[in-house]
Amino acid sequence: MEDFIGALEDEEIRVKLFEEIQGRGAFRRFKDNIIEHGVDKQWNDYKERRIKELVIEWCKGHDIEIQI
């Protein structure tokens, strides 16, 4: 979440989201705020891309051939 927030262009949204991910309930507040600020699609695209990158890295690190 922090990497995604840091990559956002709008400083006001970045500051708000960084504040919201502190402490208990961080995930819920994050989700609510990305929707409120209209960056939920960006988040979903970012998350999907990062998961794919991590899976590819893991497979390569374990000599597992994958087809992309």
The pLDDT score that the predictor gives to residue 67 is: 83
The pLDDT score that the predictor gives to residue 48 is: 97
Query: What confidence tens digit (pLDDT) does each residue in 1-60 have?
Result: 999 999 999 999 999 999 999 999 999 999 999 999 999 999 999 999 999 999 999 999
CB of 20 closer than 8 Å to CB of 33: yes
Side-chain half-sphere exposure of 21, counting CA atoms within 13 A: 15
The pLDDT score that the predictor gives to residue 35 is: 97
**Terminal-residue alpha carbon distance, the chain:** 25
The pLDDT score that the predictor gives to residue 68 is: 73
Average pLDDT of the residues of the chain: 95
